[in-house]
Structure 1
Amino acid sequence: MIFFGTRGVTTTPEKGVFHCPACGPGSNFRWRRVRKFFTLYFIPIIPLNQLGEYIECDHCKGTYDLNVLQYDPEKIAQDFEAEYHKAVRKVMITMVLADGQIDDAESQMVCTLYQELTGRPMFPGDVHMEASDQQTSGASFEVALGSLAGSLNTNGKERVIEAAWRVAHADGEFHETEQALLARIAGILELSSSHYQGLLHTLSSQGRLPEPTPPPLPG
Protein backbone atom coordinates (compact mmCIF):
# COMPACT_ATOMS: atom_id res chain seq x y z
CA MET A 1 0.00 0.00 0.00
CA ILE A 2 1.28 3.45 -0.93
CA PHE A 3 0.84 6.21 1.64
CA PHE A 4 0.72 9.74 0.22
CA GLY A 5 -0.80 13.07 1.20
CA THR A 6 0.15 16.65 2.04
CA ARG A 7 1.41 18.52 5.08
CA GLY A 8 2.84 21.89 6.03
CA VAL A 9 6.59 22.19 6.46
CA THR A 10 8.12 25.14 8.32
CA THR A 11 11.54 26.40 7.27
CA THR A 12 13.76 29.27 8.42
CA PRO A 13 15.15 31.17 5.41
CA GLU A 14 16.64 33.94 7.54
CA LYS A 15 17.69 34.85 11.08
CA GLY A 16 18.66 38.17 12.56
CA VAL A 17 18.10 40.83 15.21
CA PHE A 18 15.02 43.06 15.43
CA HIS A 19 12.99 45.26 17.76
CA CYS A 20 10.49 42.86 19.27
CA PRO A 21 7.26 44.68 20.29
CA ALA A 22 7.20 42.59 23.48
CA CYS A 23 10.88 42.19 24.36
CA GLY A 24 12.36 45.38 22.95
CA PRO A 25 15.41 46.05 20.75
CA GLY A 26 18.24 43.58 20.24
CA SER A 27 16.00 40.49 20.11
CA ASN A 28 16.88 37.53 17.89
CA PHE A 29 14.29 36.47 15.34
CA ARG A 30 13.60 33.69 12.90
CA TRP A 31 11.86 34.31 9.61
CA ARG A 32 9.50 31.34 9.42
CA ARG A 33 8.01 30.17 6.13
CA VAL A 34 5.30 27.51 5.91
CA ARG A 35 4.83 25.61 2.64
CA LYS A 36 2.57 22.70 1.77
CA PHE A 37 4.39 19.60 0.51
CA PHE A 38 3.23 16.49 -1.23
CA THR A 39 4.34 13.59 0.94
CA LEU A 40 5.10 10.02 0.14
CA TYR A 41 5.26 7.68 3.09
CA PHE A 42 4.99 10.84 5.24
CA ILE A 43 8.19 12.24 3.70
CA PRO A 44 7.83 15.67 2.05
CA ILE A 45 8.75 15.24 -1.59
CA ILE A 46 7.26 17.94 -3.80
CA PRO A 47 6.78 21.57 -2.65
CA LEU A 48 3.34 22.95 -3.38
CA ASN A 49 1.82 26.33 -2.52
CA GLN A 50 3.16 28.58 0.23
CA LEU A 51 0.83 28.75 3.24
CA GLY A 52 2.33 31.77 5.00
CA GLU A 53 5.29 33.62 6.50
CA TYR A 54 5.87 35.22 9.87
CA ILE A 55 8.56 36.53 12.17
CA GLU A 56 9.12 34.64 15.40
CA CYS A 57 10.97 36.08 18.40
CA ASP A 58 13.47 33.59 19.83
CA HIS A 59 12.90 34.90 23.35
CA CYS A 60 9.15 35.31 23.85
CA LYS A 61 8.11 33.14 20.86
CA GLY A 62 5.72 35.87 19.77
CA THR A 63 4.84 35.85 16.08
CA TYR A 64 4.52 38.98 13.96
CA ASP A 65 3.87 40.16 10.44
CA LEU A 66 6.97 40.59 8.26
CA ASN A 67 6.55 44.37 8.50
CA VAL A 68 7.75 44.18 12.10
CA LEU A 69 11.31 44.09 10.72
CA GLN A 70 10.79 47.67 9.51
CA TYR A 71 9.71 48.84 12.96
CA ASP A 72 12.07 51.56 14.20
CA PRO A 73 10.65 53.37 17.24
CA GLU A 74 13.46 55.93 17.23
CA LYS A 75 12.72 56.93 13.64
CA ILE A 76 8.98 56.99 14.37
CA ALA A 77 9.61 59.34 17.30
CA GLN A 78 11.83 61.57 15.16
CA ASP A 79 9.23 61.71 12.38
CA PHE A 80 6.50 62.56 14.87
CA GLU A 81 8.63 65.28 16.45
CA ALA A 82 9.29 66.83 13.03
CA GLU A 83 5.57 66.79 12.19
CA TYR A 84 4.74 68.28 15.60
CA HIS A 85 7.24 71.11 15.12
CA LYS A 86 5.86 71.83 11.65
CA ALA A 87 2.26 71.85 12.91
CA VAL A 88 3.10 74.18 15.80
CA ARG A 89 4.78 76.64 13.42
CA LYS A 90 1.83 76.56 11.03
CA VAL A 91 -0.69 77.10 13.84
CA MET A 92 1.17 80.05 15.31
CA ILE A 93 1.84 81.72 11.95
CA THR A 94 -1.79 81.23 10.94
CA MET A 95 -2.74 82.98 14.16
CA VAL A 96 -0.34 85.83 13.36
CA LEU A 97 -2.03 86.27 9.98
CA ALA A 98 -5.57 86.03 11.37
CA ASP A 99 -5.93 89.80 11.82
CA GLY A 100 -4.44 90.54 8.40
CA GLN A 101 -1.04 91.82 9.47
CA ILE A 102 2.21 90.61 11.06
CA ASP A 103 2.78 92.53 14.26
CA ASP A 104 6.37 92.65 15.59
CA ALA A 105 5.20 91.64 19.06
CA GLU A 106 3.36 88.62 17.64
CA SER A 107 6.35 87.66 15.54
CA GLN A 108 8.64 87.75 18.58
CA MET A 109 6.11 85.75 20.59
CA VAL A 110 6.12 83.04 17.92
CA CYS A 111 9.91 82.77 18.25
CA THR A 112 9.75 82.63 22.04
CA LEU A 113 7.02 80.01 22.11
CA TYR A 114 8.63 77.87 19.44
CA GLN A 115 11.79 77.77 21.56
CA GLU A 116 9.75 76.83 24.64
CA LEU A 117 7.78 74.09 22.90
CA THR A 118 10.50 72.50 20.79
CA GLY A 119 13.82 73.56 22.30
CA ARG A 120 14.86 74.89 18.89
CA PRO A 121 15.47 78.49 17.86
CA MET A 122 13.30 80.51 15.51
CA PHE A 123 13.87 84.09 14.41
CA PRO A 124 11.56 86.91 13.28
CA GLY A 125 12.91 86.56 9.75
CA ASP A 126 11.79 82.93 9.75
CA VAL A 127 8.30 84.00 10.81
CA HIS A 128 7.99 86.52 7.99
CA MET A 129 9.37 84.08 5.42
CA GLU A 130 7.05 81.23 6.45
CA ALA A 131 4.10 83.61 6.66
CA SER A 132 4.80 84.76 3.12
CA ASP A 133 5.13 81.16 1.90
CA GLN A 134 1.91 80.20 3.66
CA GLN A 135 0.02 83.10 2.08
CA THR A 136 1.42 82.34 -1.38
CA SER A 137 0.83 78.59 -1.29
CA GLY A 138 -2.46 78.75 0.58
CA ALA A 139 -1.24 75.83 2.67
CA SER A 140 -3.63 74.97 5.47
CA PHE A 141 -2.62 74.08 9.00
CA GLU A 142 -5.64 71.77 9.37
CA VAL A 143 -4.00 68.84 7.58
CA ALA A 144 -0.75 69.04 9.56
CA LEU A 145 -2.54 69.46 12.87
CA GLY A 146 -5.29 66.94 12.12
CA SER A 147 -2.77 64.18 11.45
CA LEU A 148 -1.38 64.68 14.96
CA ALA A 149 -4.71 64.89 16.80
CA GLY A 150 -4.82 61.17 17.51
CA SER A 151 -1.17 61.03 18.60
CA LEU A 152 -0.85 64.09 20.86
CA ASN A 153 -1.68 63.54 24.50
CA THR A 154 -3.85 65.97 26.41
CA ASN A 155 -0.92 68.06 27.57
CA GLY A 156 0.44 68.35 24.03
CA LYS A 157 -2.93 69.57 22.75
CA GLU A 158 -3.21 72.08 25.58
CA ARG A 159 0.26 73.47 24.77
CA VAL A 160 -0.77 74.04 21.15
CA ILE A 161 -3.84 75.97 22.35
CA GLU A 162 -1.69 77.97 24.75
CA ALA A 163 0.81 78.84 22.01
CA ALA A 164 -1.93 80.04 19.66
CA TRP A 165 -3.63 82.01 22.46
CA ARG A 166 -0.43 83.76 23.53
CA VAL A 167 0.43 84.68 19.93
CA ALA A 168 -3.05 86.15 19.46
CA HIS A 169 -2.70 88.26 22.63
CA ALA A 170 0.86 89.43 21.92
CA ASP A 171 -0.37 92.66 20.32
CA GLY A 172 -2.70 93.38 23.26
CA GLU A 173 -5.89 92.50 21.37
CA PHE A 174 -7.92 89.35 20.76
CA HIS A 175 -9.84 89.89 17.54
CA GLU A 176 -12.96 87.95 16.57
CA THR A 177 -11.10 86.28 13.71
CA GLU A 178 -8.46 85.09 16.20
CA GLN A 179 -11.13 83.83 18.57
CA ALA A 180 -12.81 81.88 15.77
CA LEU A 181 -9.47 80.45 14.63
CA LEU A 182 -8.58 79.34 18.14
CA ALA A 183 -11.93 77.56 18.45
CA ARG A 184 -11.23 75.82 15.12
CA ILE A 185 -7.86 74.66 16.38
CA ALA A 186 -9.49 73.19 19.50
CA GLY A 187 -11.99 71.38 17.31
CA ILE A 188 -9.30 69.88 15.10
CA LEU A 189 -7.49 68.70 18.24
CA GLU A 190 -10.75 67.05 19.34
CA LEU A 191 -10.99 68.96 22.61
CA SER A 192 -14.45 69.10 24.11
CA SER A 193 -16.18 72.46 24.46
CA SER A 194 -15.95 72.34 28.26
CA HIS A 195 -12.24 71.46 28.12
CA TYR A 196 -11.57 74.29 25.70
CA GLN A 197 -13.54 76.82 27.76
CA GLY A 198 -11.63 75.71 30.86
CA LEU A 199 -8.34 76.34 29.07
CA LEU A 200 -9.47 79.81 28.02
CA HIS A 201 -10.47 80.60 31.60
CA THR A 202 -7.07 79.50 32.92
CA LEU A 203 -5.21 81.40 30.22
CA SER A 204 -7.28 84.54 30.77
CA SER A 205 -6.63 84.49 34.50
CA GLN A 206 -3.00 83.34 34.54
CA GLY A 207 -1.61 84.15 31.08
CA ARG A 208 -0.33 80.62 30.59
CA LEU A 209 -1.16 77.05 31.57
CA PRO A 210 0.45 75.51 34.65
CA GLU A 211 3.03 72.82 34.09
CA PRO A 212 1.60 69.31 34.50
CA THR A 213 2.26 67.70 37.87
CA PRO A 214 4.40 64.55 37.51
CA PRO A 215 2.93 61.37 38.99
CA PRO A 216 4.18 60.46 42.51
CA LEU A 217 7.01 57.99 42.78
CA PRO A 218 5.94 54.47 43.81
CA GLY A 219 6.44 53.44 47.38
Structure 2
Amino acid sequence: MGLPSLELRCRGRYVWGVRTVWHTEGDGEFYCPNCGGDRNYCRRSGVRRLTVLGVPLLSRGPAGTIAECGVCHRRYGLDVLDAPTSSRFSAMLRDAVHTIALAVLTAGGASSRHARQAALEAVREAGFSDCTEDQLIGLLAALAADEGRLPGAYDSLAGALDGCGTWLSIELHEALEPLTRHLAPQGRERVLLQGARIALADGPYLPAEREALAAVGRSLRLPAEDTDRLLEAAARTPS
Protein backbone atom coordinates (compact mmCIF):
# COMPACT_ATOMS: atom_id res chain seq x y z
CA MET A 1 0.00 0.00 0.00
CA GLY A 2 1.29 3.50 -0.79
CA LEU A 3 4.39 4.53 -2.66
CA PRO A 4 7.74 2.88 -1.87
CA SER A 5 10.29 4.90 0.02
CA LEU A 6 12.42 7.15 -2.21
CA GLU A 7 15.89 8.06 -1.00
CA LEU A 8 19.03 9.69 -2.37
CA ARG A 9 22.43 8.56 -1.14
CA CYS A 10 25.40 10.89 -0.96
CA ARG A 11 28.74 9.48 0.18
CA GLY A 12 27.10 6.60 1.98
CA ARG A 13 24.50 8.73 3.74
CA TYR A 14 20.82 9.26 2.98
CA VAL A 15 20.41 12.94 2.14
CA TRP A 16 16.71 13.05 1.36
CA GLY A 17 13.85 10.73 0.60
CA VAL A 18 10.15 10.05 0.95
CA ARG A 19 9.14 7.54 3.58
CA THR A 20 5.79 6.32 4.83
CA VAL A 21 5.16 6.70 8.54
CA TRP A 22 2.56 4.26 9.86
CA HIS A 23 0.33 4.77 12.89
CA THR A 24 -1.61 1.94 14.51
CA GLU A 25 -5.31 2.72 14.96
CA GLY A 26 -6.62 -0.60 16.27
CA ASP A 27 -6.34 -4.33 16.06
CA GLY A 28 -8.40 -7.48 15.78
CA GLU A 29 -8.51 -10.95 14.28
CA PHE A 30 -8.80 -11.74 10.57
CA TYR A 31 -8.17 -14.48 8.05
CA CYS A 32 -4.72 -13.89 6.57
CA PRO A 33 -4.57 -15.12 2.94
CA ASN A 34 -0.78 -15.40 3.11
CA CYS A 35 -0.69 -17.41 6.35
CA GLY A 36 -3.81 -19.37 5.42
CA GLY A 37 -5.40 -19.08 8.85
CA ASP A 38 -6.77 -16.80 11.55
CA ARG A 39 -4.26 -14.22 12.73
CA ASN A 40 -4.18 -10.98 14.70
CA TYR A 41 -3.89 -7.82 12.65
CA CYS A 42 -3.15 -4.13 13.19
CA ARG A 43 -5.17 -1.48 11.40
CA ARG A 44 -2.67 1.18 10.38
CA SER A 45 -2.88 4.50 8.56
CA GLY A 46 0.10 5.93 6.73
CA VAL A 47 1.41 9.40 5.88
CA ARG A 48 4.17 9.96 3.33
CA ARG A 49 6.81 12.40 4.57
CA LEU A 50 9.79 14.07 2.97
CA THR A 51 12.89 13.31 5.03
CA VAL A 52 16.23 15.09 5.05
CA LEU A 53 19.14 13.26 6.65
CA GLY A 54 16.61 10.83 8.10
CA VAL A 55 14.53 13.52 9.76
CA PRO A 56 10.85 13.63 8.64
CA LEU A 57 9.91 17.14 7.63
CA LEU A 58 7.11 17.83 5.17
CA SER A 59 3.99 15.75 4.68
CA ARG A 60 3.54 14.39 1.17
CA GLY A 61 -0.03 13.23 1.69
CA PRO A 62 -1.81 10.17 3.08
CA ALA A 63 -0.72 6.67 2.12
CA GLY A 64 -4.06 5.04 2.94
CA THR A 65 -5.15 2.62 5.62
CA ILE A 66 -4.12 -1.02 5.67
CA ALA A 67 -4.46 -4.18 7.74
CA GLU A 68 -1.09 -5.69 8.64
CA CYS A 69 -0.81 -9.33 9.72
CA GLY A 70 0.80 -9.70 13.12
CA VAL A 71 2.61 -12.88 12.06
CA CYS A 72 3.79 -12.52 8.44
CA HIS A 73 3.50 -8.68 8.41
CA ARG A 74 1.94 -8.75 4.96
CA ARG A 75 -0.15 -5.63 4.33
CA TYR A 76 -3.62 -5.72 2.78
CA GLY A 77 -6.39 -3.36 1.82
CA LEU A 78 -9.20 -3.17 4.35
CA ASP A 79 -11.44 -5.29 2.11
CA VAL A 80 -9.54 -8.32 3.42
CA LEU A 81 -11.46 -7.84 6.69
CA ASP A 82 -14.72 -8.65 4.89
CA ALA A 83 -13.76 -12.34 4.77
CA PRO A 84 -14.81 -14.23 7.91
CA THR A 85 -12.27 -15.86 10.15
CA SER A 86 -12.19 -19.65 10.11
CA SER A 87 -14.01 -19.79 13.44
CA ARG A 88 -16.65 -17.31 12.27
CA PHE A 89 -17.17 -19.23 9.03
CA SER A 90 -17.63 -22.47 10.97
CA ALA A 91 -20.21 -20.78 13.20
CA MET A 92 -22.12 -19.42 10.17
CA LEU A 93 -22.17 -22.88 8.56
CA ARG A 94 -23.32 -24.48 11.80
CA ASP A 95 -26.17 -21.99 12.21
CA ALA A 96 -27.19 -22.39 8.56
CA VAL A 97 -27.47 -26.18 8.79
CA HIS A 98 -29.35 -25.91 12.07
CA THR A 99 -31.89 -23.49 10.55
CA ILE A 100 -32.34 -25.68 7.45
CA ALA A 101 -32.90 -28.75 9.62
CA LEU A 102 -35.62 -26.97 11.59
CA ALA A 103 -37.19 -25.66 8.39
CA VAL A 104 -37.41 -29.13 6.84
CA LEU A 105 -38.74 -30.72 10.02
CA THR A 106 -41.29 -27.94 10.34
CA ALA A 107 -42.41 -28.61 6.78
CA GLY A 108 -43.35 -32.22 7.42
CA GLY A 109 -40.80 -34.46 9.10
CA ALA A 110 -41.29 -33.52 12.73
CA SER A 111 -43.21 -36.67 13.68
CA SER A 112 -40.80 -39.03 11.88
CA ARG A 113 -38.04 -40.57 13.96
CA HIS A 114 -35.99 -41.12 10.78
CA ALA A 115 -36.24 -37.47 9.77
CA ARG A 116 -35.42 -36.26 13.26
CA GLN A 117 -32.41 -38.58 13.36
CA ALA A 118 -31.19 -37.32 9.97
CA ALA A 119 -31.58 -33.74 11.16
CA LEU A 120 -29.73 -34.52 14.37
CA GLU A 121 -26.82 -36.07 12.46
CA ALA A 122 -26.60 -33.06 10.13
CA VAL A 123 -26.65 -30.60 13.02
CA ARG A 124 -23.99 -32.52 14.94
CA GLU A 125 -21.73 -32.78 11.90
CA ALA A 126 -22.07 -29.03 11.37
CA GLY A 127 -20.75 -28.26 14.85
CA PHE A 128 -23.51 -28.73 17.43
CA SER A 129 -21.89 -31.95 18.63
CA ASP A 130 -23.85 -32.04 21.90
CA CYS A 131 -27.28 -31.43 20.35
CA THR A 132 -29.90 -33.98 21.37
CA GLU A 133 -33.19 -35.10 19.86
CA ASP A 134 -35.04 -33.65 22.82
CA GLN A 135 -33.47 -30.26 22.13
CA LEU A 136 -34.64 -30.40 18.52
CA ILE A 137 -38.12 -31.36 19.67
CA GLY A 138 -38.09 -28.49 22.14
CA LEU A 139 -37.19 -25.99 19.41
CA LEU A 140 -39.91 -27.34 17.14
CA ALA A 141 -42.44 -27.12 19.96
CA ALA A 142 -41.37 -23.52 20.58
CA LEU A 143 -42.02 -22.73 16.93
CA ALA A 144 -45.46 -24.27 17.22
CA ALA A 145 -46.14 -22.25 20.36
CA ASP A 146 -45.20 -19.04 18.55
CA GLU A 147 -47.90 -19.83 16.03
CA GLY A 148 -50.43 -20.71 18.72
CA ARG A 149 -50.37 -24.43 17.95
CA LEU A 150 -49.32 -26.28 21.06
CA PRO A 151 -48.64 -30.02 20.56
CA GLY A 152 -49.69 -32.45 23.22
CA ALA A 153 -47.15 -35.16 22.36
CA TYR A 154 -44.52 -36.05 19.79
CA ASP A 155 -47.04 -37.82 17.59
CA SER A 156 -49.14 -34.66 17.37
CA LEU A 157 -46.21 -32.40 16.67
CA ALA A 158 -46.63 -32.63 12.91
CA GLY A 159 -50.19 -31.41 13.14
CA ALA A 160 -49.19 -28.57 15.40
CA LEU A 161 -46.49 -27.52 12.93
CA ASP A 162 -48.64 -27.89 9.83
CA GLY A 163 -48.54 -24.49 8.17
CA CYS A 164 -46.27 -23.10 10.89
CA GLY A 165 -43.77 -21.26 8.76
CA THR A 166 -44.19 -17.51 8.91
CA TRP A 167 -40.68 -17.40 10.37
CA LEU A 168 -39.19 -19.47 7.54
CA SER A 169 -38.15 -16.90 4.95
CA ILE A 170 -36.79 -14.49 7.56
CA GLU A 171 -34.80 -17.12 9.46
CA LEU A 172 -33.39 -18.70 6.31
CA HIS A 173 -32.36 -15.34 4.93
CA GLU A 174 -30.68 -14.28 8.16
CA ALA A 175 -28.85 -17.61 8.55
CA LEU A 176 -27.86 -18.21 4.93
CA GLU A 177 -27.28 -14.77 3.42
CA PRO A 178 -24.04 -14.01 5.35
CA LEU A 179 -22.72 -17.50 4.55
CA THR A 180 -23.70 -17.49 0.88
CA ARG A 181 -21.37 -14.60 0.05
CA HIS A 182 -18.40 -16.77 1.04
CA LEU A 183 -19.46 -20.09 -0.51
CA ALA A 184 -18.63 -21.31 -3.99
CA PRO A 185 -21.58 -22.74 -5.97
CA GLN A 186 -20.52 -26.28 -5.07
CA GLY A 187 -20.57 -25.39 -1.39
CA ARG A 188 -24.06 -23.91 -1.66
CA GLU A 189 -25.25 -27.06 -3.38
CA ARG A 190 -23.87 -29.23 -0.58
CA VAL A 191 -25.74 -27.15 2.00
CA LEU A 192 -28.99 -27.56 0.06
CA LEU A 193 -28.46 -31.32 -0.22
CA GLN A 194 -28.11 -31.62 3.55
CA GLY A 195 -31.69 -30.39 3.80
CA ALA A 196 -32.77 -32.77 1.03
CA ARG A 197 -31.35 -35.76 2.91
CA ILE A 198 -33.37 -34.82 5.98
CA ALA A 199 -36.56 -34.51 3.92
CA LEU A 200 -35.97 -37.86 2.20
CA ALA A 201 -35.11 -39.76 5.38
CA ASP A 202 -38.77 -40.79 5.88
CA GLY A 203 -39.82 -41.11 2.23
CA PRO A 204 -40.45 -38.92 -0.82
CA TYR A 205 -40.65 -35.16 -0.48
CA LEU A 206 -43.90 -33.75 0.82
CA PRO A 207 -45.12 -30.65 -1.04
CA ALA A 208 -44.32 -28.48 1.97
CA GLU A 209 -40.82 -29.96 2.16
CA ARG A 210 -40.20 -29.10 -1.48
CA GLU A 211 -41.38 -25.57 -0.81
CA ALA A 212 -39.07 -25.27 2.19
CA LEU A 213 -36.11 -26.59 0.17
CA ALA A 214 -36.95 -24.21 -2.67
CA ALA A 215 -36.77 -21.38 -0.11
CA VAL A 216 -33.38 -22.72 1.00
CA GLY A 217 -32.21 -22.64 -2.63
CA ARG A 218 -33.35 -19.05 -3.03
CA SER A 219 -31.59 -18.00 0.17
CA LEU A 220 -28.43 -19.68 -1.15
CA ARG A 221 -28.85 -17.75 -4.42
CA LEU A 222 -29.09 -20.91 -6.46
CA PRO A 223 -31.01 -20.69 -9.76
CA ALA A 224 -34.41 -22.36 -9.45
CA GLU A 225 -33.54 -24.88 -12.18
CA ASP A 226 -30.38 -25.89 -10.31
CA THR A 227 -32.35 -26.35 -7.09
CA ASP A 228 -34.91 -28.55 -8.89
CA ARG A 229 -32.15 -30.58 -10.55
CA LEU A 230 -30.32 -31.18 -7.27
CA LEU A 231 -33.46 -32.15 -5.38
CA GLU A 232 -34.54 -34.57 -8.11
CA ALA A 233 -31.08 -36.14 -8.22
CA ALA A 234 -31.10 -36.56 -4.45
CA ALA A 235 -34.50 -38.26 -4.61
CA ARG A 236 -33.15 -40.78 -7.14
CA THR A 237 -30.07 -41.58 -5.10
CA PRO A 238 -30.45 -44.67 -2.86
CA SER A 239 -30.12 -43.78 0.81
TM range, smaller chain? 0.5 to 0.7
2:172·2:219 contact (CA, 8 Å) conserved in 1? no
Pair 1:201-2:232 in alignment: yes
Residue 47 of structure 2 is matched in structure 1 by: 34
Residue 112 of structure 2 is matched in structure 1 by: 103
Residue 92 of structure 2 is matched in structure 1 by: 83
Residue 93 (structure 1) aligned to one of 75, 97, 102: 102
Instruction: Please report how far the alpha carbon of residue 207 of structure 1 lies from its aligned counterpart in structure 2 after TM superposition.
Output: 3.7
Residue 24 (structure 1) aligned to one of 14, 28, 35: 35
Q: Secondary structure at the match of 1:24?
A: coil
Instruction: Please report how far the alpha carbon of residue 76 of structure 1 lies from its aligned counterpart in structure 2 after TM superposition.
Output: 0.9
Distance 1:36 1:103, change over 3 A: same
Instruction: Please report how far the alpha carbon of residue 181 of structure 1 lies from its aligned counterpart in structure 2 after TM superposition.
Output: 1.2
Instruction: Write the distance in 2 (CA, Å) between the matches of 1:19 and 1:92.
Output: 30
Pair 1:145-2:145 in alignment: no
**Number of residue equivalences:** 190
* Map 1:1-219 → 2, pairs under 5 A: 10-13=20-23, 23-24=34-35, 33-34=46-47, 51-55=62-66, 64-65=76-77, 76-99=85-108, 101-118=110-127, 120-135=129-144, 136=146, 138=167, 140-207=171-238
Instruction: Write the distance in 2 (CA, Å) between the matches of 1:49 and 1:134.
Output: 61
Instruction: Write the distance in 2 (CA, Å) between the matches of 1:77 and 1:200.
Output: 29
2:21·2:49 contact (CA, 8 Å) conserved in 1? no
- Segments of 5+ residues of structure 2 without an aligned counterpart are 1-17, 148-166
Instruction: Please report how far the alpha carbon of residue 62 of structure 1 lies from its aligned counterpart in structure 2 after TM superposition.
Output: 6.9
Instruction: Write the distance in 2 (CA, Å) between the matches of 1:110 and 1:188.
Output: 19
Distance 1:128 1:71, change over 3 A: same
Residue type of the alignment partner of 2:35: G
Taking only the aligned residue pairs, the percentage that are identical comes to 20
1:114·1:121 contact (CA, 8 Å) conserved in 2? no
Instruction: Write the distance in 2 (CA, Å) between the matches of 1:36 and 1:185.
Output: 53
Instruction: Write the distance in 1 (CA, Å) between the matches of 2:234 and 2:132.
Output: 25
Residue type of the alignment partner of 2:194: A
Residue type of the alignment partner of 1:24: C
Instruction: Please report how far the alpha carbon of residue 121 of structure 1 lies from its aligned counterpart in structure 2 after TM superposition.
Output: 4.4
